[in-house]
Amino acid sequence: MKYCRFLFEGHTHYGTVELRAGEPWIVDLTAAPEEDLAYRLAHACAASLIPSIESFDFEPMPLKAAQLLPAATPSKIVCVGRNYRDHAAELGNEVPAEPLLFFKPPSALLAPGGVVRLPAASSRVDYEGELALVIGRRARKLRSDADWRAFVRGYTVANDITARDLQKKDAQWTRAKGFDTFCPVGPFVSDEVDPEKGLTVETRVNGELRQHGSTLDFIFSIPALLSYITAAITLEPGDLLLTGTPSGVGALKAGDKVEVTIPGLGVLANTVEADVD
């Protein structure tokens, strides 16, 4: 199953995604994952005003021709820092003994194709290409030997944009990780890949390869992360878990195009511009 979120005839829709000659296409409209808490809350008042998908006449279209939206509607975005040994080393950090967690706010979400805005408060904004999990079932106090896949709806691509100077300056990472547009996610969600078999995470800036890592090099495995996180925090359907970035992080500047690619999950492409008031 592969699906995306996109705008069609003025409404938010979910679409079924299939590969046609190697290119992702939206082949049909599909119902929203009903259990998504944030989606339900956002539409609680307007539900009766949203037309049913049967009332739309939809013709298949290439994914790249669609006006995509962030691939998930999380109530929270939980992120893991330093989950690749070589990335911890490149920033001069020790390999952590326990997962290092932080949040990004849902207000930081950015659609594929959207513009990352460089805030005036920072002089160093980095890309961090990452695999993201989309939670499918409420997960609380999962044991590390639980059937964790039953709680994961699928996987997508994320870019954990970071104001590196503010991350070092501020006692908390909230601002450095939380600016508007600092969490591009998409282009689609798929449950047809297996990170435990190794997914390649690559980041390119203006076409030049900057990051190349494999999920086989995680310090903390997905079940270990889910057990550690849900011991403290209940994960809701639609929530995102960003699993950390490999080495090769670097700065973005206005005019750049940044692309994060994971085979089977497509290319998450965004442009970069200075913020404007």
Rule CB under 5 A: is residue 126 a binding residue for Mg ion? no
Provide the 3-class DSSP secondary structure of residue 33.
Answer: coil
| Buried/exposed 208-220: b ≥16 CB within 10 Å, e otherwise | eebbebebebbbb
List binders of Mg ion among 25-54 (CB under 5 A): none
List binders of Mg ion among 158-177 (CB under 5 A): 160
Q: How far is the CB of 63 from Mg ion (least distance, A)?
A: 25
Stretch that binds Mg ion, among 60-68, 119-127, 138-146, 241-249 (CB under 5 A): 241-249
Backbone angles phi, psi at 125, to 5 degrees: -115, 125
Q: How far is the CB of 84 from Mg ion (least distance, A)?
A: 10
Q: What is the dihedral of CA 11, 181, 207, 261, to 10 degrees?
A: -70
Contact 56, 193 (CB under 8 A): no
Q: Which is nearer to Mg ion, 36 or 126 (CB)?
A: 126
Out of 36, 126, 128, 202, the residue judged to bind Mg ion by CB under 5 A: 128
- Ramachandran category for residue 112: left, alpha or beta (phi over 0 → left; psi -120 to 50 → alpha): beta
Q: Which is nearer to Mg ion, 101 or 224 (CB)?
A: 101
Stretch that binds Mg ion, among 31-39, 114-122, 140-148, 238-246 (CB under 5 A): 238-246
Task: Outline where 17-149 has alpha helix (H).
Answer: 37-43, 85-90
Closest CA to 109 of 268, 255, 237, 231: 268
CA 17 – CA 24 distance, rounded (Å): 6
Q: Which is nearer to Mg ion, 158 or 272 (CB)?
A: 158
Rule CB under 5 A: is residue 245 a binding residue for Mg ion? yes
Q: How far is the CB of 219 from Mg ion (least distance, A)?
A: 13
- Residue closest to Mg ion (Cβ): 160
* Total number of residues that touch Mg ion (CB under 5 A): 3
Non-local CB neighbours of 41 within 8 Å, separated by 6+ positions? none
Q: Which is nearer to Mg ion, 32 or 132 (CB)?
A: 132
Stretch that binds Mg ion, among 44-52, 93-101, 120-128, 217-225 (CB under 5 A): 120-128
Contact 71, 186 (CB under 8 A): yes
Rule CB under 5 A: is residue 202 a binding residue for Mg ion? no
Q: Which is nearer to Mg ion, 36 or 128 (CB)?
A: 128
Q: How far is the CB of 244 from Mg ion (least distance, A)?
A: 6
> How many other β-carbons are positioned within 10 Å of the β-carbon of residue 153?
22
Query: Which residues would be at the binding site for Mg ion (CB under 5 A)?
Result: 128, 160, 245
